[in-house]
């Protein structure tokens, strides 16, 4: 990740609605790996808007996962998390004119994403956070910026080879996720909800559970860490559209800003750089970025 300053990038974004390629996004993500993120200078946001408040403060708190390799991961040895969601967070911060050192990364788990937004503990959430009607009723979600699908992770050689094999079985998943709902409601499994997916990985590795389930993009990160022991089986059986959560579902300006920022990252190459430096490291090619939902 490299931050460079680009004058009036955010103002241009607001004026045009879609940002033209800006700065040196194509010049290669040298230092640290990741997207070349421009930090906008002289940003102009509507007075009193959430964006203006954040830009003025020069600080933003972003809720992210800390235990999902490739998406949001922080090792004990490092101060900073890494992953695709982290890169997206840096892109949002940069567009607000906020430098890297103005970002506070707050760990969120699946079950506390809405409460953290509602309580103001975080300004935004970028945490493998699927857009759903239920969530959009209580917090804002802009996007999607990425689409994946639910799958199963098992110990190599397991009898479980797809969702049809888990009926009546106990499967490990995470409380507050779409994954736990889908596997119970649509596939008749008994799901046990843990706090985090890394706990489920341990349960599968030590043989306590035959399978765990969540988004394929998350599971692939765990396989990459344990390639001899674990595998992802079966086709994806849901559509998980990752969005950026914000506090007030009625804050249409914030929705539009985040949507424009996501779309700008498609145009200027930073989204692709972010993907290739993170999820792409496991050999997955960057897909076509998804179309962003309109803001109401």
Q: Check residue 179 for interaction with ligand GLU (CB under 6 A).
A: yes
Shortest distance, position 281 Cβ to ligand GLU, whole Å = 20
Q: Which CB sits closer to ligand GLU, 36 or 240?
A: 240
Beta strands in the chain (DSSP E): 2-7, 36-41, 60-64, 67-68, 72-73, 103-107, 124-125, 140-148, 150-155, 170-174, 190-194, 211-215, 230-233, 240-246
Q: Check residue 214 for interaction with ligand GLU (CB under 6 A).
A: yes
Residue 265 φ/ψ, nearest 5 degrees: -70, -25
Q: Check residue 141 for interaction with ligand GLU (CB under 6 A).
A: no
| Chain CA centroid to CA 184, Å | 24
**180 with 173: CB under 8 angstroms?**
yes
Q: Check residue 182 for interaction with ligand GLU (CB under 6 A).
A: no
Q: Check residue 247 for interaction with ligand GLU (CB under 6 A).
A: no
From 43, 50, 151, 178, residue interacting with ligand GLU (rule: CB under 6 A): 178
Dist. CA 96–CA 81, nearest whole Å? 20
Q: Check residue 73 for interaction with ligand GLU (CB under 6 A).
A: no
From 43, 50, 95, 110, residue interacting with ligand GLU (rule: CB under 6 A): 110
Q: Check residue 174 for interaction with ligand GLU (CB under 6 A).
A: yes
Classify burial at 191, counting beta carbons within 10 Å of its beta carbon; exposed 0-12, middle 13-18, buried 19 or more: buried
Shortest distance, position 143 Cβ to ligand GLU, whole Å = 12
Q: Check residue 213 for interaction with ligand GLU (CB under 6 A).
A: no
DSSP 159: S
From 6, 50, 130, 182, residue interacting with ligand GLU (rule: CB under 6 A): 130
Q: Which CB sits closer to ligand GLU, 228 or 235?
A: 235
Beta bridge partners of 246: 124, 140
Site for ligand GLU in 222-241 (CB under 6 A): 240
Site for ligand GLU, rule CB under 6 A: 110, 127-130, 174, 177-179, 214-215, 240
């Amino acid at each position: 990740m490299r931050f460079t300053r680009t004058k009036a990038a955010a103002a241009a974004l607001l004026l045009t609605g879609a940002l033209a390629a800006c700065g040196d996004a194509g010049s290669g993500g040298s230092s640290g790996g990741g997207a070349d993120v421009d930090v906008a200078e002289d940003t102009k946001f509507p007075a009193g808007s959430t964006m203006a408040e954040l830009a003025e403060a020069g600080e933003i708190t972003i809720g992210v996962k800390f235990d999902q390799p490739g998406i949001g991961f922080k090792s004990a040895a490092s101060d900073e998390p890494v992953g695709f969601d982290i890169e997206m967070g840096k892109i949002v911060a940069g567009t607000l004119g906020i430098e890297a050192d103005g970002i506070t990364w707050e760990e969120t788990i699946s079950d506390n994403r809405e409460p953290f937004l509602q309580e103001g503990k975080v300004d935004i959430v970028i945490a493998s956070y699927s857009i759903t009607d239920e969530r959009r009723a209580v917090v804002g979600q802009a996007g999607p910026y990425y689409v994946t699908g639910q799958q199963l992770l098992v110990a190599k050689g397991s009898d479980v080879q797809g969702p049809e094999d888990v009926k009546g079985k106990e499967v490990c998943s995470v409380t507050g996720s779409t994954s736990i709902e889908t596997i119970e409601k649509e596939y008749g499994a008994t799901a046990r909800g843990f706090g985090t997916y890394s706990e489920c990985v341990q349960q599968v590795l030590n043989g306590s559970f035959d399978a765990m389930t969540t988004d394929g993009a998350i599971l692939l990160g765990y396989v990459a860490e344990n390639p001899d022991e674990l595998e992802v089986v079966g086709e994806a059986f849901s559509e998980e559209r990752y969005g950026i959560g914000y506090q007030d579902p009625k804050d249409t300006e914030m929705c539009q800003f985040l949507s424009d920022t996501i779309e700008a990252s498609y145009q200027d190459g930073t989204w692709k750089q972010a993907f290739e430096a993170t999820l792409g490291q496991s050999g997955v090619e960057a897909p076509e970025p998804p179309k962003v939902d309109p803001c109401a």
